[in-house]
Amino acid sequence: MTTSLANLEASLLTAFEPLGRFSKLAVALSGGMDSVVLLNAIHTLVPTLSQASPLKLRAIHINHGLQAEADEWQLFCERLCAEYGIDLQVERVILKRKPGESLEAIAREARYHCFEHSLDEDECLIMAHHQDDQMETLLLRFMRGASAQGLSGIPQQRRLGKGVLHRPLLHLRRDDLAAFAKLRQLTWVEDSPNQDSCFERNFCRHELLPLIESRWPGYRSSWTKTLSLSNEANLLLRQSAQTDLALIGCTASPLELEQLLIWDQARQRNVLKHWLTEITGQVPGWHLLHGLTEQLLPARADAKASLKTRHYELRRFKNRLYVLPKAQQFDANTCLNWDISHGAELALPNNGVLEAKAALGKGLIVPDGSTLSVRYRRGGECIKLAKRPTKPLKKFLQELSVEPWIRERLPIVYCGDDLVAIAGLAVAEKYRAAQHQHGYVFTWHQASLDLVSSIEG
């Protein structure tokens, strides 16, 4: 028995070696066997590896409140951490499930959101995923038609918030952890829903994988090879996409389409997949990528083509592809009075901020005693620019190639009933400052286009 425990400890010590460079470790602690084994092993073994002194170890428990025993599990974790002399951070989450959404997926998303926002700078979050979890994940992803990236399985390490997520147990089987728990006489809580085969992962765990193992005892080795080959393929696809994006000369939004449209659809999808992943922080699915290459890209250059997702939308305009957060609703009939002498900034409800800066010899002259107002396009507006005939505002914006979704939200400045300025673009001739005059230059700071933040929020 001692030899068996010694062998398990030796295997764990080897797995924990990459953790030696961290001074701060946080264990994701559910209270189940896997995480209890991980916490016990980390607590007793990692201090011998750590290059940092002293090592700061803590645990994080997420209380979903889904089961009646949730508070009991939390209490168990609190007592365990008190026994080990380890700080425990408890996060309670309220799950908001929409029709058709998977409860498992919503709970997982909530967990990782908590973990991400709980990590300190360069802190390492350690999770107890093991080889059986990896096999279950691979089977589930295969059944859902995953790409090479999906079939690469659970990554051992990745960035997470300000820190790093690391999974040191992926080479160990669940039976190995059970043996360690028995030999060390550990106790844990049992999650009754984990036995319910109505859940897909539990069905794989209790029904499918035992059947596969009875027929192909060596399937783990073969599937691990598939994971490795898929990871290699995914790396090559990523490198290819980076090379193609460099050829296009663009990694941000908008994406120039001239070069992209020359390539075949498979190559287009690979570029678009990695481009969108970088911008949004989410890997686009099969339907979105095929919608892009089969509907949006082939559309006429002058068409107002778009595709919407849950979190953002894609629009094509003037041979460019834009990825935009879903716009907040705003009232196009808004009319905001603005006494510019009392404030150089005007908050536009759900549409950013309009800023006015004094400038010599340019910008807008505001007649004494006048109050400005800010409105939006309603149709039929005209503007007279210096040395140019009066022109419909619609035509003026089209000539400047202002994107359609920007035109409808573009702040327009009025003095009385006169259209006197278009934020960031033009000033009417009658109100334009001469060289010796001080005017106001308007800058529109649009609502945040931080796609990753808007998705997470």
- pLDDT for 241-270, tens place per residue? 999 999 998 878 899 999 999 999 999 999
Name the one residue in this structure whose structure tokens are 């911008």.
279
CA distance 179 to 12: 13
H or E element: which one contains 380?
none
> Is 34 labelled a binding residue?
yes
| pLDDT tens-digit map of 179-221 | 999 999 999 998 776 777 778 888 999 999 999 999 999 999 9
Give pLDDT, residue 50.
59
> Could you tell me whether strands 412-415 and 320-325 are parallel, antiparallel, or unpaired per DSSP bridges?
unpaired
DSSP state of 351: S
Phi, psi of 66 (to 5 degrees): -80, -30
Tell me how many helices (H) and strands (E) the chain has: 14, 20
Name the one residue in this structure whose structure tokens are 């058709």.
100
| pLDDT tens-digit map of 1-37 | 344 788 888 999 999 999 988 989 999 999 999 999 9
Domain boundaries, the chain: 2-223, 249-325, 336-448
Q: How would you write 233-249 as a 3-class SS string?
A: HHHHHHHHHHHHHHHHC
Report yes or no: 359 and 440 within 8 Å, Cβ to Cβ.
Answer: yes
> Is 32 labelled a binding residue?
yes
Neighbouring-strand partners of residue 405: none
CA distance 87 to 82: 7
137 Cβ contact list (under 8 Å, min separation 6): 153, 154
2-223 CATH choice from 3.40.50.620, 3.90.1150.10, 3.30.1330.60, 4.10.95.10 = 3.40.50.620
Higher pLDDT, 138 or 340: 138
DSSP state of 438: E
Report yes or no: 439 and 365 within 8 Å, Cβ to Cβ.
Answer: yes
- Global confidence as pTM: 0.79
Report yes or no: 446 and 413 within 8 Å, Cβ to Cβ.
Answer: no
Give pLDDT, residue 154.
95
DSSP state of 448: P
Residue 256 structure tokens: 């120039």
Give pLDDT, residue 49.
66
Buried b (16+ CB within 10 A) or exposed e, 294-309: eebbeeeeeeebbbeb
| pLDDT tens-digit map of 113-139 | 999 999 999 999 999 999 999 999 999
Phi, psi of 106 (to 5 degrees): -65, -45
CA distance 431 to 366: 7
| pLDDT tens-digit map of 31-59 | 999 999 999 999 998 776 656 567 899 99
Give the Å distances, CA to CA, from 216 to 134, 152, 213: 17, 21, 5
Residue range 249-325 forms a domain whose CATH class is mainly alpha
Where is average pLDDT lowest: 83-92, 191-200, 217-226?
A: 191-200
> Is 222 labelled a binding residue?
no
Neighbours of 22 (CB within 10 A): 22
Neighbouring-strand partners of residue 325: 312
